[in-house]
């Protein structure tokens, strides 16, 4: 038996590897997350108000989810400026995360520094596009730092709101950033359309790749605060709707000894096992899922881009990798439009920026549409506010079952096409990136 | 003496407890030999870090003794020691140091019998608790030793 | 002059340290002129085994804590290959938040890794664990440390400037001169390597650069960050919030405290401190206002989770008692 | 470099060697790396032993020496000296105690040897970290401060001053002399206390080296022996020491009276007084308790106590002048002020507060009726122009005060009539238009120009004003825009903004309202709107408020009147939708609310009750839910604004972000009150004046501190039995359909009755009567307290004693029967300058008492109710007092109930004998059980413990020999000076026998009763001794400072200021320059508290550094 390992897998946030067991012309591919997150060990015993800060290391959206879970725990409502600031922060992070993936896509052939000099594919991609992307990320990160206190592990969202008002300079700087980001995003999306999306030239290896159709889970309408989660079937029909706090009741987790990432599935339907042709019970989340579940987007640029995608790829739901990339572009535009709207002094001022809790509850939860999909936090605390039990469902973010199935599909296809292991790896990297 | 022979780092304040310890000696009040006395000006001078340092360096117990409240030579140094002792004890408990291994006592210059009693009682308590640990110094391979807390 | 060869790797942790290298946006082009990144799995897709093929690496930025057997193996391999090993970020430097797992009484083993092997022969295992989470510095010697969770942009840039010397000054060097220890600043200015063991942070504590107003420390009651306090203005500790800025190495510029959020010590303790927990205990409780034992006890009871707070980022390395214990259990 | 350590182990004969195997230790240690030599010897402390060490240091070139022997308390100096002699710094030495701590207390030889070895190892490990140290010397500042001007302080001051050094004598009271000044005669010589004291006090008064600081208290001390810096807070005397001639013309005109503390409540005094004719300083002074609550709580700081008092005296003109100092519009203010003064008035704690506001209105109306506008003289014209934008209260007030300063002022008003909200916001039934215009006309008569119908931003601009020669602008445009409800249908016809309604009505514009009117909101504007609607013809008016009556911000009286007029109130409801037909409002949908948790402002937040919506028919809705500024007009000024759109100004100067432009009133405060706006106007006028005159903004004078707001028993007694005068109202039935004024105002009689109700809780009311009566113009009522910083080398604390509060013995009837008095009150009765001019008379009827009973040990020697200690002087005082009584009334009989007679002093026993034998006093040994009244005489019932059995004595006068207790504010002094006190509150001396006047702090000395109860000779002796201590210090010229003190490593110190508050000696201070802590070597005692607490480890105590102690720990643990 031949064992091939790709370790680690490029661009994957949790340290992961792909192990392929090759026997008698048959290949079993495993996508393994090699380090556990061990959220419980970090959080149990901590004062609950520290959780938004601790869990920020899982990703900035977790910081916001943590703060919202605290709102629910302390039974307080954040004042409008704080709600706006949190929403602005979330939009900014969606923008950054999606742009980062776009940057990875653009740098896929070589070392990013080389790319910066040569600016990507010398023939087609206009000089400096990756440079633009990197610069725009930098700008957006500056906005994130203004809003969140730090660019990566934000700190300012706290129980009942945001820790402080912005500094005066920020009110002038934020709209400036939003303006620049909007211009850059328009430019980036136009260029991408021209050279990548519509022609698919940049994605020859994955153009035909797609996942098996399966249901998807999103928050209804993506409204804020999101209160209802919706399952839609692969046909786009709604199959279940339930309040966010029932997410744990509706989603089950299967564990395989070979990976530290659990496999989320629809509890009612049971765990079907990982077989490419049986997706009953599995679901996926993330940008593409969100796009699939929406009739129309309410910001003009994003809607325009969505329509462009529909005209190129047909009506949703989509399951292809190309569509997933396109979803990133659409959401990136949506996020930057959100930023332009939110980055406004009027939105961030008001009589108070935080509501002071008066009593401590015993349980709090929150669900947030993070850049990569729904995340859900639930904390149980003792009377002193010390964490006794914690659920952080961000496995939805990793789309673990989907990714594993996709890995199997890509490996199988590459085997069929007799591709080299190196090309197989490149195909895997590009396929998994947008989900 | 095959039995476990504990070591108790004992911080005595110069003005009360150290004098009491001397007086206990002059009166030949027999004590267990577990104590290792360090003279300090005031119990308020004892940094909780010294206590942790003592445990980390292999002490089985730490005793801090100072003047009675109100009698401090430095007005209120002993009250600072008292205030620290509560939070320090919390930290020690969280770090797995059993209760009884750290003690703060008020021993006036005139209370030499009390000094002997405290020493003997504490030695006995710690004998019962057993050795705290017998760690060797950590050999940190890092050249940036100070970064990690040497 | 040949370009310096640089490796970047993250063990157990998040991607923020690596992102912090990307964060030096405006310098990326210049960095690109100076160095050749020969190993960077996350961004370049380098495979772990690629290290074996490398003759030498000039500077290795190693981020993340040591939790798995792979983490340790990579630390050793990279150490062997690299001239300068840099512990990047709180995890590599001190153990970081992943090391809070050591605090957990129940299990330090990963709780998610369960389930029976469906096909034990065919299916691969995800890898072995170390008995305790450790910092990089506890596993292999590190030449330099860039603390922070994540490290701040000026410090990352200062470290790069110092280790991949390039003549000429830069606006970011101003920080180095004002805050970095004199030796490091001088080394950077003259283009020589800073002394081994250099920590890219200040000598003093966060308070030195914190913008808040300090008046008088008198601790009356513990305020928890969800309770009411002034987000701007007066020192957080003086308001009753447990803020570790007083005992934490500076370098961040008082980032969190400026936002009204208390410091949790991601830069580790300051030089002269033996144990940051003991020091925090001492500094705070010395200024307690209550006088009677009952009142002091009552105030003490308001404090929760001292270890998880005072050793949030540095449990395995800076908690003097833990340091010994983990070594002991290893034996 | 490797250090060379010499280790010397003493055998102490067999004292050590008997239990500890010294040779074994020496052998083992000798192999240690850093140990150059290790020797044992029988007696190390002997000369041959010492020589051993000296020789090794010289021959082997040792760096350090460790000596293991007896306790360092015994021989550390010996060995340090030996090292010194051999040329080694004595601090390079470390002593290890292996005798007291080891050999003498161990049973087992092996164990003792192990322990001793560990101890020595610890010493060796530590000593290599030792560093050479040397103490320093600092010069002494040869001036002294004496705190307390009693006989002890006076004696000390004179001693020091006579020796030629400067003395600051700090006295809390108005005069010096202390307790002794209150006494009549002294025992055992029966010479007059005054005759012995006054020569001393007058000597102090004229001594060139003594500066007396009366009414002063030590606030804090910093520095160290020989170099203290003392902060002294001095209250004003208000009467110039230089100008006052002591004529006393001021006294009869003073309208205020209260119990005199000097006379122990046996007489009253005026705030302006002099305790007795020979008092030093020999001038009058004024006692004021601080700003009284009425004045302190008035946003404009109007002296209500002053003008109420003057009104009480029917001096209306003077009263009005006083009002005008801070409130130019008495008639307006008296109508519409929300009078926080009355809320705070202490009389309110008895029955009801003074009717201050209505009285002020009376004063204003009185003047308007006389049609004689009197304002202070206008200063010479300054020929500088100031523009005021807005003619509301802030603008008018600024105009008034600027006009007084001689500026040429123009007010620009956008509307067609002046007055701002006064004219278009407050309905005429509350503020009649003629009153408003009369007050404005008065203002214009002072030369102020008013231009109405001029809009800033269109008609005039900053540039045009500048071009017209205006040098400063005051922006006071108010809040004239209504807040938005943000409710669907708000734009329907029939939904009217509240401020618009009021304005339109005031400007006589047509106001169309329907029959059914609902006013939304709970503030005064809402109530005004409702009452206006009722008057212009609405059939039903309802006020809808989302919280409850309790949370309503409108004034109670307004709400009550509205209810009387038939306006209905509806609470816990809010509109959620307005429904219209053809654009005309017909209905409104209302939702019920309930109160939730309190929000930031402390008010409980209303929460809608789901499903409680209902549709209500309505014709007109008036939205009175807040106001907003019309900033558009001011845009051309581009001033900084807050998050709420109001203009941001400097809180003290009202300066905006643009130089020369000031702003005040509602447009900076948000919706505020008339009186706040007037205060702003005055504040702005002051700032504009200093801006135009000095080109900068003056520092604002600190506000007078508020007095204690709690009512005292004495103030309760001062209350004259006059009821609060009710405000007459227009009958309800006469109000509908017109805008006649509802409140009718007080009459001259009722107003002056109100004035007489004042308790004068602030003591001096600053009415100015005395100043007007003072010939030499010595009185300045505007004086404020001052803080002095004084450098002194030594400080003597002689703060004296207080007497025990006899009310704690209710059975003795003190406070209940006027003829039960304390012995200090008795002193005043005997004193020829006292209330009875020296006659001993019964306070109840002024008759001469025949039988006087003295009760001893009141508060002394009584663990249960009083103090445990003996007050030492009471036995002699009673003996003295009964003898004085007998001298006055040879036929009288004196009785003394005593526990023990204590007469230990020179001539004391003889004196008491005479009292018993010559004056025939009857001494009864036993406690008194009760004093009660029977048939007009007092009866003292006690027990005679010598004979056994009860005894009853009839008495005309009972004198309680109250004990001596610490001053009630001893803690303040102790905190200010870092002194330690005993459990009672007496300051502790350094040593009860050998250091009776020293404290544990070098350079601070004690004298007199502050240290413990004592009589005059003892106090004088201590005063002299303390003076001598100070002189000894001055004679030395410099002080030596121990080297084992704290040291700050500036490289590590972050300036977190943790250490600062911990130091009991204020030796650690924060340096603003270096932003680090700094230790004053001379002050530091080396206790190490700061070092232990320092979170960065930046502080260490020399010779006890963390490095040294950690090394010792490691060494000991092997």
pLDDT band at D177 (very low <50, low <70, confident <90, very high): very high
The reply to whether C85 falls in a domain is: yes
| CATH 3.30.70.20, applies to D1042-1102 | yes
Are C156 and C257 found together in one domain?
no
Q: What is the pLDDT of residue B140?
A: 34
Interface C:D, Cβ pairs < 8 A: 83
For chain C, give the percent of residues with pLDDT over 70.
79
Residues of D in contact with B54 (CB under 8 A): 1113, 1117
Helical (H) or strand (E) element with A3: strand A2-6
D490 class by beta-carbon count within 10 Å (0-12 exposed, 13-18 middle, 19+ buried): middle
User: Residue range D23-28: average pLDDT?
Assistant: 93
- Asked if pLDDT for residue D114 goes beyond 50, the answer is yes
Which range marks the domain in which residue C210 is found?
206-330
In terms of Cβ atoms closer than 10 Å to its own Cβ (0-12, 13-18, 19+), residue A267 is: middle
Question: Using only C-alpha atoms, what is the Rg of chain D?
Answer: 40
Confidence of residue D756 (pLDDT cuts 50, 70, 90): very high
Note the pLDDT of residue A122.
41
Give residue-wise pLDDT tens across range C218-271: 899 999 998 988 888 899 999 999 999 999 998 888 999 999 999 999 999 998
pLDDT category of residue D498 using cuts at 50, 70 and 90: confident
In a domain, A10, yes or no: no
pLDDT tens digit sequence for B96-138: 888 999 999 998 877 788 999 999 999 999 999 988 863 333 3
- Give the confidence band of C106 by pLDDT, cuts at 50, 70, 90: very low
Instruction: Examine the pLDDT at B142 and tell me if it is beyond 60.
Output: no
Side-chain-side CA neighbours of C52 within 13 Å: the count stands at 4
- Could you tell me which chain B residue has the CA closest to the CA of D1102? B41
> Are D943 and D951 a contacting pair, CB within 8 Å?
yes
Domain residues of chain D, as ranges?
5-133, 139-235+793-799+967-1037, 380-480+638-702, 492-626, 803-966, 1042-1102
Q: Are D217 and D786 in contact (CB under 8 A)?
A: no
Q: pLDDT value at position A162?
A: 94
Beta bridge partners of A32: A17
Cβ of C271 under 8 Å from any chain D Cβ?
A: yes
Contacts of B56 in chain C (CB under 8 A): 275, 320-321, 323-324
How many domains are contained in chain A?
Answer: 2
CATH of the domain at B65: 3.40.50
> CB of B118 within 8 Å of any CB in chain D?
no
Q: Is the pLDDT reported for residue D682 higher than 90?
A: yes
Q: Compute the average pLDDT of residues B66-82.
A: 86
Searching chain B, which residue's CA lies closest to the CA of residue D1114?
B57
- Tell me if D52 sits within 8 A of D40, measured CB to CB: no
Pair A10, C42: CB distance under 8 Å: yes
Residue-wise pLDDT for D53-64, tens only, equals 999 999 999 999
Going by the DSSP 8-state scheme, the letter that residue C121 receives in this structure is T
Is the Cβ pair A33, C45 closer than 8 Å? no
Distance (Å, whole) CA C274 – CA C317 = 11
Q: For residues D164 and C167, give the distance between their C-alpha atoms in angstroms, rounded to a whole number.
A: 70
Q: Which residue has the tokens 């105030």?
A: C299
b (16+ CB within 10 A) / e for A147-174 = bbbbbbbbbbbbbbbbbbbbeeebbebb
Overall domain count for chain C: 2
Answer whether residue B139 shows pLDDT above 70: no
| pLDDT confidence of residue A92 | 95
Which of C117-131, D277-291, D1009-1023 is predicted with the least confidence, judged by mean pLDDT? C117-131
Q: Residue D813: which of D952, D966, D714, D941 has the closest Cα? A: D941
The confidence band for C165, taking pLDDT boundaries of 50, 70 and 90, is low
Report how many domains make up chain B: 1
Question: CA of C197 to nearest chain B CA: how many angstroms apart?
Answer: 4
- Across chain D, mean pLDDT equals 90
Q: D963 and D863 in contact (C-beta within 8 Å)?
A: no
Nearest by CB to D1064, which of B26, B38, B76? Answer: B76
The answer to whether residue A2 sits within a structural domain is no
Assess whether pLDDT exceeds 50 at residue C330: no
A388 inside domain: yes
Residue D1118's pLDDT is what?
A: 79
C8 and C154 housed in the same domain:
yes
C141 contact residues in B (CB cutoff 8 A): 141-144
Distances (CA, A) of D643 to B109, C233, D35: 64, 18, 72
Q: Kindly report whether the peptide bond that precedes residue D188 is cis, defined as omega within 30 degrees of 0.
A: yes
User: Does the pLDDT at position D702 exceed 80?
Assistant: no
Q: In this structure, are strands D957-962 and D851-858 parallel, antiparallel, or unpaired?
A: parallel
The residue to which tokens 């300036």 are assigned:
D1055
| Cross-chain residue pair D1089–B54, CB shorter than 8 Å | no
CB D125 within 8 A of CB D992: no
DSSP A329: H
List the one residue out of D422, D407, D418, D424 whose CA is nearest residue D441.
D418
A287 and A382 together in one domain: no
What value of ipTM does the predicted structure carry?
0.89
- CA distances from residue D836 to D261, D714, D828 in whole angstroms, order as listed: 16, 22, 8
pLDDT grade, residue D698 (50/70/90)?
low
Chain C residues in contact with B149 by the CB 8 A cut-off are 268-269, 274-276, 314, 317-318, 320, 323
**Which residues of chain A are under the pLDDT cut of 50?**
110-124, 222, 224
Q: Which of A349, A350, A358 sits opposite D597 (nearest CB)?
A: A358
Q: In terms of pLDDT, which residue wins out, D928 or D138?
A: D928
The answer on C168 and C50 residing in a single domain is yes
Nearest CA in chain D to A78: D599
Distance (Å, whole) CA C88 – CA C69: 19
In a domain, A376, yes or no: yes
C306 interaction partners in chain B (CB closer than 8 Å)? 87, 90-91, 94
**What are the pLDDT digits (tens) for D516-568?**
999 998 888 899 999 989 888 888 999 999 888 888 888 888 888 888 888 99
A268/A299 same-domain check: yes
Residue D221 dihedral angles phi and psi, to the nearest 5°: -135, 140
Q: In the predicted model, is pLDDT for residue B78 greater than 60? A: yes
The answer to the question of residue C200 being in a domain is no
Residue C190 scores a pLDDT above 80:
no
- Residue D652 scores a pLDDT above 80: yes
In a domain, B59, yes or no: yes
Segments forming the whole domain that contains residue B29:
8-148
CA atoms in the 13 A half-sphere facing the CB of D35: 23
**Chain Cα centroid distance, residue D877:** 36
In angstroms, the CA D605 to CA D613 distance is 19
Domain that holds residue A247: 208-334+400-421
pLDDT of residue C174 exceeding 70, the answer is: no
Alpha helices in A193-299 (DSSP H): 247-250, 287-293
Subunits next to A (3 or more Cβ pairs <8 Å) are C, D
Q: Are C4 and C36 in contact (CB under 8 A)?
A: yes
Same domain, A372 and A414: no
Q: How far apart are CA D35 and CA D20, in angstroms?
A: 20
Q: Is the pLDDT of residue D699 over 70?
A: no
Is the pLDDT score of C90 beyond 60? yes
> What is the bridge-based pairing of β-strands C66-68 and C129-134?
antiparallel
- Which of D189, D118, D178 is CA-nearest to residue D147? D178
Distance CA A334, CA A297 (A): 8
Residue C102 pLDDT greater than 80, yes or no: yes
pLDDT at D832: 87
D600 interface with A at CB cutoff 8 Å: yes
- Listing DSSP states for D353-383 in one string gives ---HHHHHHHHHHHHHHHT----PPPPPP--
Asked if residue A226 and residue A96 are part of one domain, the reply reads no
Please tell me whether residue C250 adopts helix, strand or coil conformation.
Answer: coil
Record: contact B56-C288, CB cut-off 8 A: no
Nearest to A209 by CA among A32, A419, A24: A419
Instruction: List the beta strands (DSSP E) in D599-685.
Output: 604-608, 614-617, 620-623, 627-628, 661-663
Domain D139-235+793-799+967-1037 in this protein, CATH class:
alpha beta
Task: Decide if B150 touches D, using CB distance below 8 A.
Answer: no
CATH for D492-626 (3.40.50.300, 2.60.120.260, 3.50.50.60, 3.40.50.150)? 3.50.50.60
Interface residue of C179, C205, C230 to substitute, partner D, most D CBs within 10 Å: C205
Looking at residue D739, the DSSP 8-state letter turns out to be -
- The reported pLDDT for the residue numbered D128 is 95
What is residue A279's predicted lDDT score, i.e. its pLDDT? 74
Return the CATH number at A391.
1.10.645.10
Continuous segment of H or E residues that includes residue C61: strand C57-63
Q: Give all chains having 3 or more CB-to-CB distances under 8 Å with chain C.
A: A, B, D
What's the DSSP call for residue C101?
A: G
CATH number of the structural domain D380-480+638-702: 3.50.50.60
Separation CA C36–CA D289 (nearest Å): 79
Residue C123: inside a domain, yes or no?
A: no
Fold (CATH) for D803-966? FAD/NAD(P)-binding domain (3.50.50)
Report how far residue B47's alpha carbon sits from residue B54's, in angstroms, rounded to the nearest whole number.
11
Beta-carbon contacts of residue A39 (< 8 Å; ≥ 6 apart): A55, A58, A390, A392
Q: In the prediction, which pLDDT does D863 show?
A: 87
Taking contacts as CB-CB distances below 8 angstroms, the residues of chain D near A349 are: 643
């Amino acid at each position: 038996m031949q064992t091939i390992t790709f370790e680690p897998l490029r661009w994957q946030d949790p340290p992961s590897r792909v192990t392929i067991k090759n026997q008698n012309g048959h290949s079993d591919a495993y996508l393994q997350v090699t380090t556990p997150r061990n959220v419980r060990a970090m959080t149990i015993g901590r004062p609950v108000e520290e959780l938004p800060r601790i869990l920020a290391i899982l990703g900035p959206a977790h910081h916001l989810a943590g703060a919202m879970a605290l709102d629910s725990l302390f039974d307080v409502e954040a004042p409008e400026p704080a709600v706006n600031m949190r929403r602005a922060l979330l939009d900014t992070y969606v923008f950054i995360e999606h742009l980062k993936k776009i940057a990875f896509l653009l740098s896929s052939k070589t070392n990013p520094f080389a790319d910066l000099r040569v600016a990507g594919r010398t023939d087609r991609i206009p000089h400096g596009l990756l440079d633009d992307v990197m610069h725009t990320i930098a700008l957006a990160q500056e906005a994130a730092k203004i809003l969140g206190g730090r660019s990566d592990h934000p700190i300012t969202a706290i129980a009942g709101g945001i820790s402080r008002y912005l500094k005066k300079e920020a009110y002038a700087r934020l709209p400036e950033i939003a303006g620049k980001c909007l211009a850059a995003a328009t430019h980036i999306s136009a260029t991408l359309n021209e050279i990548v999306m519509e022609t698919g030239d940049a994605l020859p290896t994955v153009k035909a790749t797609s996942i098996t159709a399966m249901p998807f889970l999103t928050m209804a309408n993506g409204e804020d605060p999101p209160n209802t989660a919706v399952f839609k079937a692969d046909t786009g029909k709604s199959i279940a709707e339930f309040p966010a706090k029932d997410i744990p009741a509706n989603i089950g987790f299967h564990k395989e000894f070979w990976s530290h990432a659990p496999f989320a599935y629809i509890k009612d339907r049971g765990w079907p096992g990982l077989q490419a042709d049986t997706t009953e019970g599995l679901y996926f989340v993330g940008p593409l899922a969100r796009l699939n579940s929406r009739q129309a987007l309410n910001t003009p640029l994003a809607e325009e881009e969505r329509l462009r995608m529909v005209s190129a790829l047909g009506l949703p739901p989509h399951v292809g990798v190309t569509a997933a990339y396109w979803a990133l572009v659409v959401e990136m535009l949506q996020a930057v439009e959100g930023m332009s709207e939110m980055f406004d002094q009027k939105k961030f001022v008001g009589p108070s920026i935080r509501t002071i809790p008066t009593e401590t509850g015993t349980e709090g939860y929150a669900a947030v549409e993070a850049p990569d999909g729904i995340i859900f936090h639930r904390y149980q605390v003792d009377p002193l506010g010390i964490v006794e039990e914690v659920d952080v469902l961000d496995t939805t973010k990793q789309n673990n079952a989907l990714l594993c199935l996709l890995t199997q599909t890509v490996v199988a296809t590459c085997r069929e096409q007799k591709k080299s292991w190196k090309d197989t790896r490149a195909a895997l990297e590009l396929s998994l990136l947008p989900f | 003496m095959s039995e476990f022979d504990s070591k108790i780092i004992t911080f005595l304040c110069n003005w009360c407890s150290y004098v009491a310890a001397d007086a206990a000696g002059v009166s030949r009040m027999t004590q267990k030999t577990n104590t290792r006395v360090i003279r300090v000006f005031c119990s308020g001078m004892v940094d909780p870090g010294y206590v942790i340092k003592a445990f980390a360096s292999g002490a089985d117990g730490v005793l801090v003794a100072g003047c009675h409240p109100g009698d401090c030579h430095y007005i209120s140094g002993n009250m600072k020691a008292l205030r620290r002792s509560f939070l320090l004890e919390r930290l020690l408990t969280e770090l797995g140091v059993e209760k009884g291994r750290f003690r703060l006592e008020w021993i006036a210059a005139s209370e030499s019998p009390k000094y002997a009693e405290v020493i003997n009682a504490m030695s006995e308590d710690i004998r019962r608790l057993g050795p705290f640990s017998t760690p060797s110094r950590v050999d940190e391979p890092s050249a940036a030793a100070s970064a990690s807390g040497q | 002059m040949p370009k310096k060869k640089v490796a970047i790797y993250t063990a157990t942790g998040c991607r923020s340290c690596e992102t912090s290298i990307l964060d030096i946006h405006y310098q990326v082009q210049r960095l690109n002129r100076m160095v050749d990144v020969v190993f960077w799995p996350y961004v370049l897709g380098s495979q772990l085994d690629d290290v074996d093929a490398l003759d030498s690496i000039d500077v290795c930025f190693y981020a993340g804590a040591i939790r798995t057997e792979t983490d340790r193996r990579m630390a050793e391999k990279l150490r062997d290959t690299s001239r300068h090993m840099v512990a990047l970020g709180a995890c590599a430097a001190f153990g970081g938040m992943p090391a809070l797992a050591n605090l957990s009484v129940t299990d330090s083993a990963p709780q998610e890794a369960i389930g029976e092997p469906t096909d034990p022969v065919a299916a691969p295992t995800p890898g072995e664990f170390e008995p305790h989470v450790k910092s990089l510095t506890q596993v292999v010697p590190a030449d330099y440390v860039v603390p922070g969770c994540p490290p701040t942009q000026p410090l990352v840039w200062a470290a790069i400037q110092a280790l991949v010397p390039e003549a000429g000054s830069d606006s970011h060097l101003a920080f180095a001169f004002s805050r970095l220890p004199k030796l490091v600043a001088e080394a950077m200015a003259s283009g020589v390597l800073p002394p081994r063991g250099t920590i890219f942070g200040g000598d003093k504590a966060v308070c030195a650069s914190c913008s808040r107003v300090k008046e008088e420390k008198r601790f009356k009651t513990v305020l928890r960050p969800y309770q009411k306090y002034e987000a701007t203005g007066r020192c957080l500790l003086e308001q009753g919030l447990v803020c570790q800025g007083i005992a934490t190495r500076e370098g961040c510029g008082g980032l969190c405290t400026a936002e009204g959020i208390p410091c949790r010590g991601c830069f580790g303790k300051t030089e002269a401190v033996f144990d940051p927990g003991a020091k925090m205990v001492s500094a705070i409780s010395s200024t307690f206002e209550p006088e009677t034992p009952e009142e002091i006890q009552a105030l003490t009871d308001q404090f929760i989770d001292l270890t998880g707070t005072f050793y949030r980022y540095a449990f395995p390395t800076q908690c003097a008692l833990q340091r010994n214990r983990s070594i002991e259990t290893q034996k | 470099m490797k250090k060379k350590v010499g280790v010397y182990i003493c055998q102490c004969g067999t004292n050590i060697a008997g239990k500890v195997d010294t040779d074994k230790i020496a052998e083992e240690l000798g192999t240690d790396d850093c140990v150059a030599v290790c020797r044992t010897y029988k007696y190390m402390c002997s000369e041959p032993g010492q020589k051993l060490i000296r020789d090794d240091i010289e021959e082997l070139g040792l760096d350090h020496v460790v000596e293991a022997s007896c306790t360092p308390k015994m021989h550390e100096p010996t060995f340090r000296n030996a090292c010194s002699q051999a040329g080694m710094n004595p601090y390079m030495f470390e002593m290890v105690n292996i005798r007291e701590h080891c050999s003498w207390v161990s049973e087992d030889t092996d164990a003792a040897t192990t322990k001793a070895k560990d101890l020595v190892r610890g010493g060796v490990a530590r000593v290599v970290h030792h560093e050479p140290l040397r103490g320093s010397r600092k010069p002494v500042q040869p001036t002294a401060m004496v705190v307390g001007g009693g006989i002890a302080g006076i004696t000390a001051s004179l001693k020091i001053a006579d020796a030629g050094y400067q003395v600051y004598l700090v006295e809390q009271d108005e005069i010096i002399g202390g307790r002794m000044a209150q006494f009549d005669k002294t025992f055992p010589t029966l010479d007059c206390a005054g005759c012995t004291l006054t020569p001393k006090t007058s000597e102090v008064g004229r001594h060139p080296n003594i500066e007396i600081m009366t009414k002063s208290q030590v606030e804090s001390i910093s520095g160290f022996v020989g170099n203290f810096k003392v902060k002294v807070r001095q209250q004003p005397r208000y009467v110039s020491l230089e100008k006052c001639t002591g004529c006393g013309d001021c006294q009869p005109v003073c309208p205020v009276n209260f119990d005199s503390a000097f006379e122990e409540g046996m007489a009253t005094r005026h705030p302006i007084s002099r305790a007795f004719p020979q008092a030093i300083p020999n001038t009058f002074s004024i006692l004021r308790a601080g700003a009284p609550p009425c004045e302190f709580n008035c946003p404009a700081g109007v002296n209500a106590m002053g003008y109420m008092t003057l009104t009480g005296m029917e001096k209306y003109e003077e009263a009005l002048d006083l009002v005008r100092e801070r409130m130019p519009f008495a008639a307006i203010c008296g109508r519409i002020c929300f009078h926080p003064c009355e809320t705070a008035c202490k009389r309110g704690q008895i029955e009801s507060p003074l009717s201050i506001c209505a009285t002020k209105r009376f004063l204003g109306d009185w003047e308007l009726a006389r049609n004689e506008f009197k304002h202070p003289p206008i200063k010479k014209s300054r020929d500088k122009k100031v523009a005021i934008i807005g003619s509301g209260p802030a603008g008018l007030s600024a105009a008034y005060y600027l006009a007084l300063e001689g500026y040429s002022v123009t007010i620009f008003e956008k509307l067609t009539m002046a007055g701002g909200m006064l004219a278009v916001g407050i309905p005429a039934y509350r503020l009649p238009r003629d009153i408003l215009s009369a007050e404005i006309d008065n203002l214009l008569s002072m030369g102020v120009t008013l231009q109405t119908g001029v809009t800033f931003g269109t008609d005039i601009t900053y540039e045009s004003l500048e071009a017209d020669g205006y040098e400063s602008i005051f922006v006071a445009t108010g809040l004239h825009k209504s807040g938005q409800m943000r409710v669907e249908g708000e734009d329907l016809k029939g939904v009217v903004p509240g401020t618009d309604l009021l304005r339109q009505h005031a400007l006589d514009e047509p106001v169309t309202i329907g029959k059914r009117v609902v006013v939304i909101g709970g503030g005064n504007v809402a109530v005004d709107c409702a009452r206006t609607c009722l008057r212009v013809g609405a059939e039903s008016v309802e006020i809808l408020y989302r919280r409850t009556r309790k949370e309503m911000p409108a004034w109670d009286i307004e709400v009550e009147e509205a209810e009387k007029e038939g306006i209905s109130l509806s609470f816990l409801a809010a509109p959620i939708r307005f429904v219209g037909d053809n654009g005309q409002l017909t209905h409104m949908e209302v939702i019920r609310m309930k109160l939730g948790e309190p929000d930031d402002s402390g008010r409980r937040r209303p929460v809608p009750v789901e499903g409680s919506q209902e549709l209500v028919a309505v014709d007109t809705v008036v939205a009175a839910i807040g106001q907003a500024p019309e900033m558009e007009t001011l845009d051309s000024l581009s001033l900084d604004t807050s998050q709420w759109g109001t203009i941001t100004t400097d809180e003290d100067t009202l300066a905006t972000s643009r130089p020369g432009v000031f702003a005040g009133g509602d447009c900076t405060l948000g919706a505020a009150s008339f009186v706040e706006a007037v205060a702003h106007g005055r504040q702005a006028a002051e700032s504009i004046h200093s801006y135009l005159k000095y080109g900068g903004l003056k520092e604002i004078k600190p506000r007078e501190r508020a007095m204690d707001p709690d009512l005292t028993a004495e103030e309760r007694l001062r209350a004259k039995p006059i009821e609060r005068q009710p405000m007459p109202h227009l009958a309800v039935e006469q109000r509908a359909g017109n805008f006649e004024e509802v409140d009718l105002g007080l009459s001259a009689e009722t107003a002056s009755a109100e004035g007489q109700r004042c308790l004068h809780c602030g003591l001096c009311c600053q009415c100015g009567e005395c100043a007007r009566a003072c010939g030499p113009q010595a009185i300045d009522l505007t004086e404020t307290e001052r803080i002095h910083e004084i450098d002194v080398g030594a400080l003597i604390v002689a703060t004296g004693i207080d007497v025990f509060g006899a009310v704690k013995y209710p059975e003795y009837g003190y406070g209940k029967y006027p003829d039960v008095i304390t012995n200090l009150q008795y002193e005043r009765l005997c004193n020829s300058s006292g209330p009875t001019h020296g006659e001993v008379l019964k306070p109840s009827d002024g008759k001469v008492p025949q039988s006087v009973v003295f009760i001893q040990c009141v508060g002394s020697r009584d663990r249960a109710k009083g103090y445990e200690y003996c007050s030492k002087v009471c036995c002699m005082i009673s003996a003295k007092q009964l003898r004085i009584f007998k001298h006055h009334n040879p036929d009288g009989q004196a009785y003394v109930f005593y526990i023990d007679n204590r007469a230990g002093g020179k001539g004391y026993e003889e004196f008491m004998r005479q009292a018993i034998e010559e004056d025939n006093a009857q001494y009864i040994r036993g406690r008194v059980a009760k004093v009660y009244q029977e048939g007009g005489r007092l009866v003292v019932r006690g027990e005679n413990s010598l004979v056994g059995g009860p005894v009853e004595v009839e008495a005309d006068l009972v004198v309680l020999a109250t004990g001596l207790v610490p001053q009630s504010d001893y803690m303040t002094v102790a905190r200010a000076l870092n002194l330690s006190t005993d459990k009672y509150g007496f300051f502790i001396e350094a040593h009860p026998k050998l250091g009776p006047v020293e404290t544990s702090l070098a350079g601070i000395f004690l004298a007199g009763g502050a240290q413990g109860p004592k009589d005059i000779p003892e106090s004088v002796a201590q005063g002299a001794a303390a003076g001598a201590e100070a002189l000894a210090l001055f004679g030395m010229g410099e002080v030596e400072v121990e080297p084992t003190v704290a040291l700050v490593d500036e490289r590590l110190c972050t300036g977190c200021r943790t250490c600062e508050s911990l130091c009991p000696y204020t030796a650690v201070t924060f340096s603003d320059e270096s932003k680090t802590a700094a230790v004053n070597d001379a002050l530091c005692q080396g206790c190490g508290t700061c070092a232990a607490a320092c979170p960065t480890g930046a502080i260490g105590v020399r010779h006890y550094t963390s490095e040294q102690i950690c090394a010792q720990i490691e060494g000991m643990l092997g």
